[in-house]
Structures are given as C-alpha cells and as structure tokens.
Amino acid sequence: MVTGGAGFLGSHLCERLLAGGDEVVCVDDFSTGRAENIAHLLDLPGFRFQLQDVTQGLDVPGPVDAVYHLASPASPADYLRLPLETLLVGSYGTRNALELARRSGAGFLLTSTSEVYGSPQVHPQPESYWGNVNPIGPRSVYDEAKRFGEAITMAYRRTHGVRTTIVRLFNTYGPRLRADDGRAVPAFITQALEGRDLTVTGDGGQTRSLCYVDDLVEGLVLAMGSGHSGPINLGNPTEVTMGELALAIRDLCGSSSRLTFVARPQDDPQQRRPDIRAAREELGWAPRTSLEDGLRRTIAWFRDTADAGLPAHRGEAATALA
C-alpha cells in the first residue's frame, strides 16, 4: 500500500513497485495528489486505486505486506493552505496507517522530512541532530506533524513490535511536480519557459540540496527492505544556492528571463544539506543523477506537458522548498 500514491513522489513510487513485480494499492483523497499522475497505471495488472482520506480510517481487502505512508501536503503552498489537514494526516493518518501495518503484520515506512531539523544550527544535518524548529510558526503545521509522526512510529515499534522504518527526505524534484505548489524548481521552470521574471526569495544565498525523484524512490524501496528503524536521511549532499539554481534553470531553458528578488517566508532555513553516511552504510544508497541531468529531464517534462495542452499550473513566486 502507498498512501498519498497519486502525489508527485507517491506516483513515482507506485511505478517503481509495479516494475519490481509488486501488487500496489494506491490510496489518495486528491487533496494535493492528481488523478493524471496515476492515469497511466489504472489498467496495469497488480494496480488498484482506492479513494480514501487516511485520517478517517484505512483498510483494504486481502493481505498487506508493506505500508509506505506518504500521505501529507508536502509543499509550502499546500500545507499553509491546509494547516489543520496537515496536522491531522500527520497524527490520525499516521496512526491509521500504523494500525493497518500492525493488523497485517506488514512493514511500515514513514516518509518524514528534513523540515524536522528546522533552521539547522548543525551543518550538514546528521540524523542525531534534534533540530531547531519554531513550534508555533506557520511552517510548524508541517514540521510538527512530521515530528509527531516519527514519535508515534517509534512508539508502535517499541509497544507493538511493528517493523517500522523512518526516512527523512530532503528536497526532491522531477516530473509531475505542480508548477503552483510553491517549490522553487517548478516555479523557476515555468517562469523561464514563459519568459517571465524568476522570483527568488531573499538575496538568493540560502541553500538547498536537490535529489532527483528516481534516486529518492530507490532509497525508499531499499529502506523498506532493510529492517533498519531509522531515521535515515535520503537526499543529495550536493548543495546549491537558490540564486545558482535559478540561473541554471534559466540557462537550461534557453530563457532570457531576469531574476527578481522578493521577501523570504518566515522561518525559511538558511541552509539545508543531508549527511547521508547512514544511507550509504545501511542501505548501500547514494544519489546517482546529477543536478544538470535531473533538471534537463524535469524541464523536458514541463515542456511536453505544456505542448500537450494539459491543464496549466502556473508557477508564481518561489518560496522555500519543502
């Protein structure tokens, strides 16, 4: 089972599991996921879609071997628009997914986030770092939902013996990102392709580490099979400033767009880079796709989507990546 399976990351995970011979139940309520992300999977043998809000309960007929819990708004625009829903899916939704795993004797993987580190005072961020999070700021609805998700996941492991794994995902990008979801990569691409100014927050000096979606999904599958409790960081340790990212995307798009600078959101981290030693040692995992190659693939998808006349999702001011 993949909760949030019609989302950006979830749909790629469903594809990877099907390609590996697994049967997949994709659960989503389309609050942030999109039907078109999984339309090409609906007729494949072994794939089943279940329209369901995981905060209201979670059940499927037949045996379940693994529960990948990805359901949650994950971009700034989404979790700021859906603050209560974000908190509920991190709490009730995670409990319901854990209960399904407990009843089924299934493995359980929680996709947590680098946001649990907040605005880090340790760089790069190892899993042992407890973070620097503002618990009452606007971003806290996502940060604290994931922190609670980690806590209840470990409680189920200790109390009920559920085979759980926690992974902390750093910034991920690739095809199927919504241009209007508030993340910098799709916003910059859309702006560059349309010849509009690229809106960079702050002075553009803040950094992120960007992992291509195919690499990240492979890490999820390896983590589920590892038996390691985690948390384990999954992300690309190559760091880039937002200004550098905007220029790289502009050049790869062949655009003459200018960079303009806007105010940074509250509690926006200044720097973000994962320490991935645990992923290398415990999973044998490291990202393989260079930023240039990943951006080229992502830009090509955005171009093809626009050329095909699919619904437009305009990218406006890029906020901090989530």
Rounded Cα gap, residues 245 and 207, in angstroms = 9
Q: What is the DSSP string of 137-173?
A: STTHHHHHHHHHHHHHHHHHHHHH---EEEEEE--EE
142 annotated active-site: yes
Residue 4 Ramachandran class (φ > 0 left, ψ -120 to 50 alpha, else beta): left
Which of 68, 79, 142, 156 does the annotation list as catalytic? Answer: 142
Residues 234 and 279: beta-carbon distance below 8 Å: yes
What would the two tokens of residue 313 be? 């999702």
CB proximity list for 39: less than 8 A, separation 6 or greater: none
Cα-flanking dihedrals φ and ψ of residue 274, to 5°? Answer: -85, 145
Residues annotated as catalytic (active site), given as ranges: 142
